Structure 1
Amino acid sequence: MVDQDRQKLVSNEQAKLTATYVNGIAIATFAVGCLAPLIAAGGTIHDIDPGLRTGILRFQITASAASLVISVVCFFTSGFLHWIARRVLRSLQ
């Protein structure tokens, strides 16, 4: 009985470790592949538009279409990896 309890404990710890690892990859994928490019290419405030006398600033996003596509792919990939991590935890006994 003690050996069976020990095996169950080891199995649970392995499942938690695997889920933590996969979730860490999901977070890194989101941060590096989705969030960072959007911040890097994100909005910049340019000089006051000379055509506007009210002093409104122009806000322009300089992200390329490729970086936006990569960000969207990484967003969904990170969500999928997080879902896998949650599925791994279902094997807890």
Structure 2
Amino acid sequence: MTKLFPDAYFHIGGDEVEGTHWAQSPAIQNFISENKLRNKNGLQAYFNKRVQAMLKKYEKIMIGWEEILDEIDENLIINSDAIIQSWKSRQATVNA
């Protein structure tokens, strides 16, 4: 994907993650348990942190909607060089 988008920035989205199918998947529930993640938001945070590391290898700056910060554990916080696009409220912008 990075070859298709030569810009320095790469938007991963990250909003509107429903999670119903994750909740119904024994494999996903096992992964959440084995990795000591709290819930679907923890799973998304785990994914986001890995994506950010991959993008960094290609010298890309990750952009995502503010939901990528929802209910994340301390060890899953993304690096501060990510750009967060906030749309819910002014307070959400401050928090981001």
Q: What's the TM-score, normalizing by structure 1?
A: 0.29
Which has more radius of gyration? Answer: 1
Q: What's the TM-score, normalizing by structure 2?
A: 0.28
Q: Which has the higher helix share?
A: 1
Q: Which structure has the higher relative contact order (CA within 8 Å, separation 6+)?
A: 1
